[in-house]
Structure 1
Amino acid sequence: MAVRSDSTRPLSPGQVRSDKKQEEMGRPQRNLRLYGCVFLLLTITAVIITLIFTVFQIKDPDIKVNSVTVKQLVFANNGGVPGGRNITLVADVSLKNRNVASFKFGNTTSTISYGGVVVGEGWIPAAVSKSKRTLRMNVSMDVIPEKLMAVPGFTADVISGALNMTTYTRVQGKVKLLKIIEATMVMKLNCTVVYNISSQTAESHCKQHH
């Protein structure tokens, strides 16, 4: 005679009700854990988005020319520059990095124009402006006297006592946040420099463009 195994014995009605009751009691806990995970994920996403648009928002650095001085600018009686020496303009420049990461930029060239003609240039070496810091630099720009004196109206400006020159500087660099977000920024700085011959002083007015 075959012996029936207990494993094949059907569950009693009491056991079925007990298992169903345990399943119903465990369901709210699973739902609670699921809702908790979803809420945590939404919270983290909201925090990340908030940081990206506030603390980690990438901003263009500010470039400011504090002062401009002119060296070796001596005129002869005939309105020329004696000795054939280059004229040197020295600009005190500040670059304020408003980002929470460093701003790195490469070698930069500045040009000087007089009467619509480029008469000289200078350069800014590659550098790094640290987070929330201001980098201060002295930028020297050399003007070639022969080009300056060849511009029509030069002698008349010397007699009037003032020379009006313009400078153009283009700075290109990168900001990288958390080794993930990287942005390339280009700043353009246009300046008008008025040199007073009698007082040998220079005034500058600059405007930054992005």
Structure 2
Amino acid sequence: MSPPQSPNSSRDQVRPLAPSSHRIHVENEEGINYTSTSTSSTELAKKRRRRRCIKCCGCCGVTTIIAGIVILILALTVFKVKEPKIWINSIKFEGLSALTSSSNLQTNVNITVTADISIKNPNAVSFKFKAATATLIYSDRVIADALVPPGSARARRTFRMIIKVTIMAEKLVGIPRLTSDLVKGELPISMSTNINGKVNLGLFKKNVRIRMNCNMVVDLQSQDVKDMNCERKVSL
């Protein structure tokens, strides 16, 4: 039997050593004492909060990275701005009979030019463009201007428009090469236009500029266009 303990020694054993922790003494059969100290509830709560913050920050970081990857993929595929295309389907001249010869040139006659132009929008969103000007040039001189109305080419659709230009025959008088061209029966004319617009992708807008210059030769007798060559340039 173990010897009886004094009251004083019993009070010393149950007296707390510190306000934030307590000790548990275990004596095994060999008489060796083991002491275990537990962490205070305040420190445990801090550790839990720290773990929750780390998990929350990690989830936010992963979500941000995934969202950035998705936006990058969409920007390089679906929402990548593609170049709109423009071309002339047909162009007709009326009133060229007044230019059969230089001797009977009638300066009060109007020459009407009708151009059928198409703009193809290959993007997944619409392409809206502002009003522009189509210019007819003969021998490096502007002989007529036509207003290209504003419009919108829907997503993956082709926008078609008809442009009419009126040329006053009196503007051709005084051009040095006119006489020789009338003798040949052919009139070399060029047509140029610049179209400015935007492709709205929701998060951002992309400015698009389309420039087209077409050189052609007009037969004065048949009033048909031949040898038309167009150069196009798109700036994003």
Write the mapping of 1:53-68 to structure 2, written as runs, cut at 5 A: 53-68=76-91
Question: What secondary structure, in the 3-state scheme, does the structure 2 residue paired with 1:84 have?
Answer: coil
Out of 65, 73, 87, the residue aligned to residue 111 of structure 2 is: 87
1:100 deviates by 1.9
Write the mapping of 1:96-111 to structure 2, written as runs, cut at 5 A: 96-111=120-135
Show the counterpart of 2:38. Answer: 16
Work out which of the two has the higher radius of gyration on C-alpha atoms and give 1 or 2.
2
Gap change, CA 1:143 and 1:170, over 3 Å in 2: same
Q: TM-score, normalised by structure 1?
A: 0.81
The answer as to 2:81 corresponding to 1:49 is: no
Question: What secondary structure, in the 3-state scheme, does the structure 2 residue paired with 1:67 have?
Answer: strand
Gap change, CA 1:117 and 1:9, over 3 Å in 2: closer
Between the aligned residues of both structures, percent identity stands at 28
Gap change, CA 1:86 and 1:27, over 3 Å in 2: same
Gap change, CA 1:76 and 1:162, over 3 Å in 2: closer
1:166 deviates by 0.8
Q: TM-score, normalised by structure 2?
A: 0.73
- State the distance in 1 between where 2:122 and 2:100 align: 49
Out of 165, 174, 177, the residue aligned to residue 153 of structure 1 is: 177
Show the counterpart of 1:174. Answer: 198
1:165 deviates by 0.6
Structure 2 unmatched ranges of 5 or more: 1-14, 25-35
Deviation track 1:133-186 (CA, whole Å, cap 9, x = no partner) reads: 1100111122221112321121211221211011110111112211x3012221
- State the distance in 2 between where 1:176 and 1:15 align: 66
Gap change, CA 1:67 and 1:42, over 3 Å in 2: same
**Larger relative contact order (CA 8 Å, sep ≥ 6):** 1
Structure 1 unmatched ranges of 5 or more: none
Q: Which amino acid aligns with 2:79?
A: F
Q: Which amino acid aligns with 2:229?
A: H
